[in-house]
A and B are shown apart, each in its own frame.
Chain A
Amino acid sequence: MKKFLIALIGLALVAGTAFAAPVTVEFWHAMTGKNGDMVQAVCDKFNASPEAQKLGFRVSPVYKGSYSDTMNAGIAAFRAGQAPAIIQVYEVGTATMMSAKGAIKPVYKLMAENKEKFDPKVYIPTISSYYSTAKGEMLSMPFNSSTAVMYYNKEAFKKAGLNPDKAPATWPEFFDAAKKLKASGMEGGFTTNWISWIQLENFSAWHNQSFGTKSNGFEGLDTELVFNTPLTLKHFQTMYDLSKDKTFIYGGRENKANPLFTSGQVGMHFESIGGYGNMKATCKFDFGVARLPYYPDVTGAPQNSIIGGASLWVFNGKAAPDYAAVAKFFTFISQPDIQAFWHQQTGYLPITKAAYELTEKQGFYKTSPGMKIAIDQLLNKAPTGNSMGIRFGNFNIIREIEDQTWEDILAGKIGVKEGLDKMAKDGNAKLREFQRLNK
């Protein structure tokens, strides 16, 4: 009897190891609404995939609040030794994550260590470059990338005597159209989201103008803000002047200006392509998507726009099986069909060329032409040092300084030129602080 029992136990043990011990890794993210559903869907797909099943891998998505809540939760968790394997960090936090000595595991290392096939070249250049070192080594996995575009109200265009199928291509045409829209009876001509991301960062990149020295910070921590150029001044002065008679209406920070456009109060708006789904859902009028306008007298314009959104970072200090699971997950989500699914469902851009082509073959861009416009804008030209992206430490503080100073400018508390100079000066102080900590 005893021998039989021992044999039975031995058999059970052996049988047990044939099925791999399950490995669950946590994926902290900041996606809500439909996007949050899709995060869950992608993870479910992975968990149900044959390979994940065989290896016993599971990815468990956890919502942790807004982008900054999530990042902060990740940091607090790391300091307490409780970090998740994967965390979604907004583009603004890139420099902070990169400079975190020993806290993160770069993606290219992760994939190599786990023998996963990984070729940075399959990713769309403007997207992968944002998250790579100068040598092209990818530090984080792009996940939800967007770019800035112009939305315009086609019905309002008709009413104002403008061609609804031809959005203004240059800024002079744009301001002209805005004045016409206001004259036709609208509350205002235009508004914008994200004064920092769209009207300063993308503005600079689109005109191949430096936002900061050292390739916008890619080449060193001793970068300085230089966006307060005569061109930017001209642009902001115009917006300020137009705000006086409400041709330009300020709608608040971040994406708070949306209702101004969706409720029909203004005829043109700047927002992320990631908000495309919301526009479709809330606009009761026919709207179009167009490229960002540019100043035609600037050489090199239009160049290409830069991304917004977030990427996935991997924390150090986890066990090897966790990393194996993460590597498999990253391979999984980079597949064209998964990328196409994510892209089409959420409104974020496809991160690989293959996904882009697949989506095009599926005819998706016929029903959602706005998406294609956004991607083409991103791919307009090969990125230069001025348009690869932005890499600043303390970047969210700098954006806050930009928001606050812009509000002071609009309220008349400070002149336009002094305001822009102040943004650069205060921002530079923050960059020096970051440099000091991360030498």
Chain B
Amino acid sequence: MAKQYEFSSKGLPYLLVLPQMVIVIIFFFWPAAQAVWQSFFLQDPFGGTIIFVGLENYLKLFTDPDYGASFVVSVLFAISVAVSSMGLALFLAIQANKKIRFDSFYKTMLIWPYAVATMVAGVLWLFMFNPNVGVIAWLLQKRLGMEWNHLLNSNQAFLLITIAASWKQIAYNFVFFLAGLQSVPATLVEAAAIDGAGPTKRFWKIIFPLLSPTTFYLLVMNLVYGFFETFPIIHQVTAGGPGKATSVLVYKVWRDGVINLDLGGSSAQSVILMVMVIGLTVFQFRFVERKVNY
């Protein structure tokens, strides 16, 4: 892609970025620096006693099997959410892309869940799957003979949070996939049909490759969503349980810091998360940039 035109003003750009930078410095770097600082200490919640412990908080995390488990759960969860919400969204986008009547109705109806607060989504799904009074739980138990108890069954708990998290995200992915599909030149597809390729072959050989920048972008965004932004769902639905089966990293940071008042350990976890965020951002720009801009 041709590089964008650049103005020659010397002082103006600094003035333009100033508001953004001020905010970033005050509300990101300053608190981040504080988190780094606090991660080297052990302190009582009120700040009355502070003991310098060097890297002990980090060492404790790295040798704690719970932290490792939390890491694994987080990755699995992010991947599950990404795959399921992207897969479903793609499928729906394909259906909505066909020249059918009511397609703008369908589009509207599939997009609006995006407006629902993540916390609210968590509450809704908890409500439906509550083993004691939930409508769907009742259906599963009474009509399908299935044992549903996400309070004790870790796999079911995991499934529940995946569904709740994906539900919202399908709308977002749907928008992108639909736009991506609509930008595939119809002539290309028709030519393949004339050559005798069936619908499945047409999809995988032509449409999907052309969709790959969209897919890659969504994959990154969905992984980020699943990894970082699903805190309200875990908080409302499982509180990290049963046992610690759904205690993802973001939830653990909050719980250890805010509820259990372990400021040092929580800060260390925040720092690790921030490092991962930075890594992901660099990755996103180095690789996604290249894929997208051809």
Contact = CB atoms under 8 A, between A and B. Distances in A.
Nearest to B44: A437
Given A75-B261, A396-B259, A410-B152, 17 more contacts: A71-B261, A72-B259, A75-B45, A79-B47, A100-B45, A100-B46, A101-B44, A103-B48, A250-B149, A252-B151, A253-B239, A396-B260, A407-B152, A407-B241, A407-B243, A411-B152, A438-B49
A411 B153 contact: yes
Contact of A259 (B48, B133, B149, B152): B133
Interface in B264-281: none
A405 interface: yes
Interface in B147-175: 149, 151-154
Nearest to B43: A437
Interface in A391-425: 394, 396-397, 400, 403-405, 407-408, 410-411, 413
A250 B152 contact: yes
B46 A79 contact: yes
B45 A404 contact: no
A259 B152 CA distance: 17
Interface residues of B, number: 27
A403 B241 CA distance: 9
A49 interface: no
Interface in B229-256: 239, 241-244
Contacts of A256: 151
A408 B241 CA distance: 10
B242 A411 contact: yes
A93 to B, nearest CB: 9
Interface of B: 42-49, 51, 130, 132-133, 149, 151-154, 239, 241-244, 258-262
B244 A404 contact: yes
Contact of B51 (A78, A102, A405, A437): A437
A75 B151 contact: no
A438 B154 CA distance: 37
Nearest to A67: B259
A265 B132 contact: yes
Interface residues of A, number: 38
Contacts of B260: 394, 396-397, 400
A99 interface: yes
A36 interface: no
A100 B243 contact: no
B44 A260 contact: no
Contact of B243 (A99, A259, A411): A411
A134 to B, nearest CB: 21
A305 B130 CA distance: 31
B13 to A, nearest CB: 36
B261 A407 contact: no
A189 to B, nearest CB: 15
A265 B49 CA distance: 50
B241 A72 contact: no
A405 B66 CA distance: 13
A101 B47 CA distance: 9
Nearest to A78: B46
Nearest to B258: A72
Contacts of A72: 258-259, 261
A263 B133 contact: yes
Q: Which of B153, B241, B243, B258: most chain A CB closer than 10 A? A: B243
Given A78-B46, A99-B44, A438-B44, A251 B151 contact: yes
A96 B130 CA distance: 34
A219 B44 CA distance: 20
29 contacts: A68-B258, A68-B259, A71-B261, A72-B258, A75-B45, A75-B46, A78-B46, A100-B46, A100-B48, A101-B46, A251-B132, A251-B151, A256-B151, A259-B132, A396-B259, A396-B260, A397-B262, A400-B260, A403-B241, A404-B241, A407-B241, A407-B242, A407-B243, A411-B152, A411-B154, A413-B243, A433-B42, A436-B42, A437-B49
B152 to A, nearest CB: 5
A397 B266 CA distance: 13
A408 B47 CA distance: 35
A405 B43 CA distance: 27
A213 B52 CA distance: 29
A410 to B, nearest CB: 5
A99 B154 CA distance: 37
Interface string A232-271: 0000000000000000001111001001100101000000
B270 to A, nearest CB: 15
A256 B236 CA distance: 12
Contacts of A407: 151-152, 241-243
Contacts of B47: 78-79
A78 B261 CA distance: 14
A176 B236 CA distance: 36
A407 B240 CA distance: 12
Contacts of B152: 250, 407, 410-411
A72 B262 CA distance: 11
